[in-house]
Amino acid sequence: MKELPSGAEALQVEIRRLREKIRILEGEAGAFPDLAGNRPDISQDQEKKENLLERERDILQSVMDSVKNSHLAYLDLDFNFVRVNVTYAAACGYSPEEMIGKNHFTLYPHPENEAIFAGVRDTGMPVEYHDKPFEFPDQPERGVTYWDWTLAPVKDRDGVVTGLVLSLFETTERKRTEEALRQAKETADAANRAKSEFLANMSHEIRTPMTVFMAAVEHLLQIDRNPDRRHLLDLADQSARRLRALIDDILDFSRIEARRVELDEEPFELQSCLRSAVDLFSLAAREKNLRLELEVAPETPALLVGDPDRLGQVLINLIGNAVKFTSAGEVRVCVRPRGDTVEFAVADTGIGIPEEKRHRLFQSFSQVDSSFSRRFGGTGLGLAISKGLIDLMGGEISVRSREGKGSVFTFTLPRREAGKHPRALGGEPTL
């Protein structure tokens, strides 16, 4: 495709060179006598001039013919072909010599293109088109073809348009490939959505009997005093809880993929949303001897509009991971306004994430090290769900990390305030 303008440029340069030569030769032909009074030999000059012209024409034709993948033509002001390259002539079913003198729009009548040609001739302004459709009247079997083309005026020294350089590059194949790819992607997307729909329906169906099962186990635990059976019931209860957490993750993830998540739009107190999420982990943090802190910048809006449950879900996942992957030090949740967003950061002093693994973090079922899942539990869906939810809420998530030093997960949400209410809750609590 890049050859297209350079082919046209080469042609223009050659035409200009040719004109210049003619001008010089014309000057030489009418030259004044030299100091000794000898007039130049006109007939000899004439022959030289013609030889030179012949050679220039050959060079010009060679330049044009060497451009194999573009159709190049030089047209006069009535759009007759003055010169065409082999590629162009062959595509029309002619040799270059046969094409010369034929009119472009007699061969291929096309009022719209003719108006474009007239526009370039009359204004002296070049035009450029991409993937412009064209149907050959004499080759209907080709159907619609597509072309990148440029039409540029050739001007004399006074700026008067004396001809037009046309260069065409067929893009039909590329267009067809693009179309086929687009259709293939659409089919794949539809199949993927169908899979997510299925997964969402299935996990929903599994969840309902699980809830009944868990309620039954809980009831038995309340009434059964036999230690052996209680032990078994405890095991069943723990496994059922893990299974339900897994099903919940799959349900959420597949709903996000199938675009079946509806977000609430309601004013909510940011501080209480943050505190509920953090409080869930205070016991786990204390057990691991970790400091767990919540810092909210004073200028942070107290009331936001959005979905507090989904925000809570993201925070729970990030804080849960931070606590899970930190064995000493602290986990800090910091919130502050940033331009027209609110920024949330969950920072830990944990094991960190190797650089080469970070790009996969937000993909589904991805765990930095599969041995971790055995050590720490988890599905590898939490961050994919968080990213999906943050995307849906109009924000962005990113991560910074140093192996062995810790990680900071930062996400933003659009700052949508529910009016200018006084701050409902106080400044910078520390747990």
Task: List contacts with ligand ADP (CB under 6 A).
Answer: 317, 321-322, 325, 348, 350-351, 353, 361, 367-368, 372-373, 378-384, 407
Encoded tokens for 255: 């709903």
Minimum distance from CB of 217 to ligand ADP (Å)? 24
**Other residues' Cβ atoms within 10 Å of the Cβ of residue 181:** 10
Q: With respect to ligand ADP, which residue has the nearer C-beta, 183 or 363?
A: 363
> Is the alpha carbon torsion for 238, 346, 388, 372 positive or negative?
negative
Give Cα 310 distance to the centre of its chain.
27
Minimum distance from CB of 415 to ligand ADP (Å)? 25
CA within 13 Å, CB half, 62: 6
Q: With respect to ligand ADP, which residue has the nearer C-beta, 99 or 361?
A: 361
- φ/ψ region of 83 (left if φ > 0, alpha if ψ in -120 to 50, else beta) reads beta
Q: With respect to ligand ADP, which residue has the nearer C-beta, 129 or 372?
A: 372
**Other residues' Cβ atoms within 10 Å of the Cβ of residue 328:** 9
Minimum distance from CB of 360 to ligand ADP (Å)? 9
> In DSSP terms, which residues pair with 341 in a beta bridge?
338, 414
Q: With respect to ligand ADP, which residue has the nearer C-beta, 84 or 322?
A: 322
Minimum distance from CB of 328 to ligand ADP (Å)? 13
Instruction: Look up tokens 């009016």; give the residue.
Output: 419
- Could you please report the per-residue DSSP string of 391-431? HHTT-EEEEEEETTTEEEEEEEEE--BSSSPPPSS-S----
Q: With respect to ligand ADP, which residue has the nearer C-beta, 151 or 250?
A: 250
Minimum distance from CB of 385 to ligand ADP (Å)? 8
Q: With respect to ligand ADP, which residue has the nearer C-beta, 313 or 321?
A: 321
Minimum distance from CB of 379 to ligand ADP (Å)? 5
